[in-house]
A = this chain, B = another copy of it.
């Protein structure tokens, strides 16, 4: 067969190449750079096409498409959430994503996004904490020590200057795994036997648990004044991590209210409970933390713009790194009206 044209080829970043890219750049540097990209896109938030994710629910999980566009580049992510997968030895969340050129509709890059989502989620959390947590914070409690935990710890070290992480998980094996993976990376890692113990001396608490139910990872008495709560979780309707009373005492910051009202911690509150959009804090249009005693809550559910920022970051590194392969994904006949002729010529070449 004849070789596909330049337009037919779409760079694809495999899991293997994504791992090589992260190792090449370095986890902490990549977290810092991703946080900067995400922050820059939050700053131009109003110009993005925004829509709640398009979800297909089943009894065991959800498959979602998360599109957005800045008018020049279009991006979307495919992501699933299946809490029962872990028992089958599968990832709860897997993802891939695509960037395309708005002017032509042609894809620019296809990429794995399971790893990239873990990185962008942690980078977004740390970026939000940079704006909302008390100044000079050095200690973070980390409740839930699953697949996202190490990424969160290293993002907060790189972006917020966290020096100590205090780990707790209902499964001690998860805590041991997390502590092992974080060893020797310049963090003081403390494994704890209870959430209360993990909270000791922490000014930031990150909750990141995955059960699909109304859980109460944090109760009201556990959260003292001045704390910043980074509620990550695997959010969906019917899944929360914080007791409602904590929410009522907190200044609440969200990504995109129409989505967070459905999926976030604030699904427990009235539909008109006041929340602040994080982009407005960054743009100087809304107040962030009001004082040193305020409890701030970043009710994070993950939004398409963060994936867009992460995909653009990876795309900008493709040429230098060479860490991609070209996929023959777009049928591109010499004469665009002659799609059938392309097929005929392929047949003739095959027969020759």
Cross-chain contact B61 with A85 (CB below 8 angstroms): no
Count of identical protomers in the assembly: 2
Find chain B residues with CB under 8 A from A181 CB.
Answer: 338, 340-341, 344
Find chain B residues with CB under 8 A from A341 CB.
Answer: 177, 180-181
Cross-chain contact A329 with B91 (CB below 8 angstroms): no
Please report the C-alpha to C-alpha distance between residue A69 and residue B335 in the assembled complex, in whole angstroms: 35
Q: With A80-B100, A350-B23 known to touch, is A90 a contact of B115 (CB < 8 Å)?
A: no
Task: Mark interface residues in A145-178 (1 if CB within 8 Å of B CB, else 0).
Answer: 1111111000000000000000000000010010
**A7 interface residue per 8 A CB criterion:** yes
Cross-chain contact A91 with B331 (CB below 8 angstroms): yes
Q: Smallest CB-CB separation from A331: which chain B residue? A: B114
Q: Smallest CB-CB separation from A22: which chain B residue? A: B343
Within 8 A of B (CB), among A215-271: none
**A112 interface residue per 8 A CB criterion:** yes
**A136 interface residue per 8 A CB criterion:** no
- Chain A, interface size: which category? 35 or more
Q: With A92-B336, A177-B335 known to touch, is A329 a contact of B85 (CB < 8 Å)?
A: no
The stretch among A13-21, A278-286, A294-302, A311-319 that forms the contact with chain B is: A13-21
Q: With A94-B330, A147-B337, A339-B115 known to touch, is A4 a contact of B8 (CB < 8 Å)?
A: no
Q: Smallest CB-CB separation from A57: which chain B residue? A: B49
Q: With A105-B94, A331-B91, A337-B146 known to touch, is A67 a contact of B76 (CB < 8 Å)?
A: no
**A45 interface residue per 8 A CB criterion:** no
